Amino acid sequence: MSSFLETAAAAARAAAAVIKRDFGRPAGVRFKARMNPVTETDLAAEHAALQVLERAFPSHDILTEESAQAPRRSDYLWVVDPMDGTVNFTHAYPCVCASVGLLGGGELLAGAVCDPIRDELFTAEKGKGAALNGSPIRVSPVSALEGSLLCTGFPYRLVENPGETFRVFERVSLLAQGVRRDGSAALDICYVAAGRFDGFWERELKPWDTAAGVLILREAGGLATDFSGRQFDPFVPEIAATNSRIHDELIRALSPAGPAADRA
């Protein structure tokens, strides 16, 4: 394990330890938007992760969900979500994690996603495979959308424009074996990497939601793109992530033409 991955894992574990400490007793809940809460635990978890990163690589840039960091003009950028699944956390729903990814030269280099409730650490380093608690993981062998178990998420601004979100949800739900919505994009992507889900899609995401998870997915044999099938970019706010075998079908289902595209 390189120093990059060791640091990503240590930072994710540090943030996750704070989440575990506070789980079931959220404090200081306030709302950035109607459906987007932040808690004292988010901020404490972020502080714990930043301490690890800044101690290991003081010259690197850091992008986090909860606070602005002064740019250092480094070739490396750490992307941190100290608590992905804050709504779940405030309700003691056990689907929450800390996510830490590293970009360098425009590429995803290392990533770690830590679920403190299940004591699971997903990790990956570019070109070296993906692991769950140190054991290799691979995507599922499912080859058709009709036999797939998928997951998705809804944007925080759902109430402002619910129509398209629900139209897509209906289209895909009618084609798949099942669809789940667990409320943590980072964990959803890792579950695709581990073969628990076969695919995931969501709009209006941020880099800290996806960067670490996508590297883990790729290294486990999966594929991530935007809804048009273009190569994944963490700064483009939509993602389709699959085991690669059902990817084309999912992309067609996500298009405005929907299932009709299969009959064209």
Topology (CATH level 3) of domain 3-136: Fructose-1,6-Bisphosphatase; Chain A, domain 1 (3.30.540)
State the amino acid at position 235 in one-letter form.
Answer: F
> φ, ψ for residue 7 (rounded to 5)?
-70, -40
Comma-separated ranges of CATH 3.30.540.10 domains in the chain: 3-136
Question: For residue 48, what pLDDT is reported?
Answer: 98
Token pair 């084309």 is at which residue? 248
Token pair 């380093």 is at which residue? 125
pLDDT tens by residue, 189-244:
999 999 999 999 999 999 999 999 999 999 999 999 999 999 999 999 999 999 99
Question: For residue 261, what pLDDT is reported?
Answer: 37
* Predicted TM-score (pTM) of this structure: 0.92
Both structure tokens of 157: 């601004």
Helices (H) and strands (E) in the chain, counts: 7, 14
- Spell out the residues 6+ positions from residue 250 whose beta carbon is closer than 8 angstroms to its own: 145, 150, 172, 199, 201, 240, 242
Give the burial class of 98: count Cβ atoms within 10 A of its Cβ; 0-12 exposed, 13-18 middle, 19 or more buried. buried
* pLDDT under 50: residue ranges of the chain: 260-264
Q: What CATH number is given for 145-256 in this structure?
A: 3.40.190.80
Comma-separated ranges of CATH 3.40.190.80 domains in the chain: 145-256
Eight-class DSSP state of 232: P
Question: For residue 142, what pLDDT is reported?
Answer: 99
Question: For residue 155, what pLDDT is reported?
Answer: 76
Question: For residue 34, what pLDDT is reported?
Answer: 58
